[in-house]
Structure 1
Amino acid sequence: MSDDSELIGQNNSSSNANRSDEQRRYYRRVTRYVVGVVVACGLAFGIGWGLSFIFPVFLAKFLADFPVSNRERFQQLLLAMVLTVLIGLSVSMGVTNYPVILLLLVGLLMFYAYYLFLDPQWNFFATILLIAVLLLPYLGITNSGLAIYVGAGLIFSGVLAVIAFAVLHWLFSEEEQQNDLATASPDLLSQQQRVQEAIKALIVAYPVVVYFYYFQINGAILTMVFIGILSLQITTVKSIKISVFLLLTNGVGGLLALVLYELMVTTPEFLLLLALLSLVSLVIGARIYQQPEKAPIWAGVMSAMLVVLGGVISSDSKFIEVSFYARITQIILASVYMILASLLFDLWRSRSK
């Protein structure tokens, strides 16, 4: 009887120790996320450089997607950052005088980015590739010098995000656990499934991209960045309806950006903005690490908020010349389109089975 009591006591103490370790890791990850987002926003909004608002967007995404990291991942992120921008620049410089060929190449590279994104090892490479392919050829059509300027800004923001990601993991380090390894290396989709998901994302996003390229819409850069990030997120949604996902991320993220913008206009204090961002990132970070199955939703909310708000605060008149509400309107229209296109595509695919 005493042996049984000792065994029960050991099991209880072991389970309490495991629970305590999990809580420490949870608090460490949330702290890392809040510190990273707030410091990145402070640098990007306070200093400002070409495409500086991309820096906190990338960093927030890295921290949400990779709670555990290592040297190999840092090296891969840096390599991906440089290579993808070079690919985007080469496309923008070579075929901008041939619109049909340019749009075909952009479509092919978008499909390839969606396909790669479904492999976690190529997640960041695909993200940078898609954004570079959307933005740089668009700018190269009208001004090749502007494409180089934005490409340099994209490289700088991306490399800075990777460095900040590495520093944050060094400051708030944690040991890899078995369940972390399982989370970091999920079961890959089959090649056929990856192709199907990539085609779905391309069908949803490509018509909007063609529209912006054809009509050269003013302020389209910010909207295309948003569409690129959002269309990548579509490929990862499995357990919820795509329309609900888009509605939640866009609606909540846009509403948060609107509230912060109005507070900033009413009380233009930079420290107040950082305090509000700390509160928002604390709530979102807690949700991301508390409910990993719903992490894409909360990460999407943060991306939407940072893209809209950051595009205004750190805007550069060289390539963004539309008002905050004009940007909001463009993103809302793009979101409505993507929701309807996703619904129609899902209906068509369900009926064809």
Structure 2
Amino acid sequence: MPIEREPRSQRALRLASGTALCLAASFGLDLPIPFLSPLLALFMLASLNRPLPLKAGLGLTLMVLLTTGSGLLLIPLLRYYPFSGVLLIGLCLFLAFRYGLRGGNNLTATFLVVGLTMISAAGTADFGLAVMVIDALVKGLLLAVLVLALSHWLFPEPANAPALPVAPALLAEEAGWVALRAALVVLPAFLVALIDPASYMPIIMKSVSLGQQSCTTTARDAGRELLGSTLLGGLLAILFWGALSILPHLWMFFLWMLLFGLLLARKLYALSPTRLTPGFWLNTLVTLIILLGQSVQDSAAGKDVYTAFAVRMGLFIAVTLYACLMVRLLDQRRQRRRVRQHAC
């Protein structure tokens, strides 16, 4: 007889096991940019409480090819007219975030942002690198869709479970301000990545995560939400690496990720209630996966893991502090504008 659990418990188990399985499979299969697949799985597990049908999964893959391919079209512009290219990417980022905030599909908006940043940045250095990033995204997404289906089979959603809450679409003016803020959060990381796209891919993914999180964060909570989750993710990555170093094996990689995922999923789904928002815990897990995935790749490549981690963590903190600054400055500007409008 199947064990009946409340929906939040099922979702926590599904998110932790699916993310851990996708992480282990991605590294075990030696996929390009292996941390991408568990990130995609995490986003889908957190936003979908039903498995994707085969047709929807194939449609999503095709959509990824089309949206990420948009970055390829911008490569010539960035190479020969860099200033105009950066302005156009900034405008497209604004439109992508605004589309999601106005009730559009958040996964589509995310892939648009990734395509505009990661792929166009990679293409400025080497067109082959841009194609490799698209290949990594498509393979990672296919693996994430399979893991999503398996996770739902192992931990199905109860029949009477309430649907996941859907964020209401913002009004046009409000969506414009928030989308501008998110675009300004992502754009500097994109500019940094143009220096060395192969090395700064994690910075872009982190900035995309921060851009999404900034859409639901106020100036009052920006420091705690953005910087706090980044620092906690870094601390957990250090603890994870120390634990994994005791017995470095793929199965232990999976088991440790499962444990850390369960701890964070309990917070995310309020099984262990805290004052922090679900976005805080989701961004913490995103930071953990990016830092950990890159450290494993650095170790496999024979690089100095600790120096690379310190540099990467420093960049993450710098990007996060900048994101907090953007949230505060734009919110203050919007408040002053409202005061002037009421005064008139």
The TM-score range, normalised by the shorter chain, is: 0.7 to 0.9
| Cα offsets for 1:212-258 (capped at 9, x unmatched) | 43x44772211111111211121123696122210221011111112
Is 1:60 the counterpart of 2:42 in the alignment?
A: yes
% identity of equivalent residues: 23
| TM-score, length of structure 1 as denominator length | 0.82
Distance in 2, Cα, partners of 1:160 & 1:269: 21
Post-superposition offset of 1:75? 5.7
Is 1:336 the counterpart of 2:336 in the alignment?
A: no
Post-superposition offset of 1:167? 3.2
Distance in 2, Cα, partners of 1:333 & 1:47: 33
User: What corresponds to 2:175 in structure 1?
Assistant: 194
Q: Number of residue pairs matched?
A: 329
1:113 to 96, 111, 114: 96
Q: Is the 8 A contact 1:74 1:166 kept in 2?
A: no
Is 1:161 the counterpart of 2:144 in the alignment?
A: yes
CA distance 1:268–1:163, change in 2 (3 Å): closer
Distance in 2, Cα, partners of 1:238 & 1:271: 40
AA at the equivalent of 1:145: G
Q: Is the 8 A contact 2:213 2:226 kept in 1?
A: no
Task: Identify, as 1 or 2, the structure richer in helix.
Answer: 1
AA at the equivalent of 2:35: F
Is 1:133 the counterpart of 2:116 in the alignment?
A: yes
Q: Over the residues paired in the alignment, what is the CA RMSD in angstroms?
A: 3.0
| Cα offsets for 1:167-187 (capped at 9, x unmatched) | 32244332564741xx44443
Q: Is the 8 A contact 2:237 2:288 kept in 1?
A: yes
Partner SS for 1:51: coil
Post-superposition offset of 1:47? 2.7
User: What corresponds to 1:16 in structure 2?
Assistant: none
* Structure 1 unaligned spans of 5+: 1-20
Distance in 2, Cα, partners of 1:239 & 1:348: 11
User: What corresponds to 2:341 in structure 1?
Assistant: none
User: What corresponds to 1:296 in structure 2?
Assistant: 279
Q: Is the 8 A contact 1:45 1:314 kept in 2?
A: no
Partner SS for 1:49: coil
Distance in 2, Cα, partners of 1:89 & 1:40: 27
Q: Say which one has the larger Rg.
A: 1
| Cα offsets for 1:50-80 (capped at 9, x unmatched) | 1221111111121112234554864653343
| TM-score, length of structure 2 as denominator length | 0.84
User: What corresponds to 1:12 in structure 2?
Assistant: none
Report 1:140-219 matches (<5 A): 140-175=123-158, 177=160, 179-180=162-163, 183-213=164-194, 215-216=195-196, 219=199
* Structure 2 unaligned spans of 5+: 339-344
Post-superposition offset of 1:131? 1.3
User: What corresponds to 2:342 in structure 1?
Assistant: none
Partner SS for 1:189: coil
AA at the equivalent of 2:205: V
Distance in 2, Cα, partners of 1:284 & 1:294: 12
Post-superposition offset of 1:197? 0.9
AA at the equivalent of 1:35: S
Is 1:88 the counterpart of 2:71 in the alignment?
A: yes
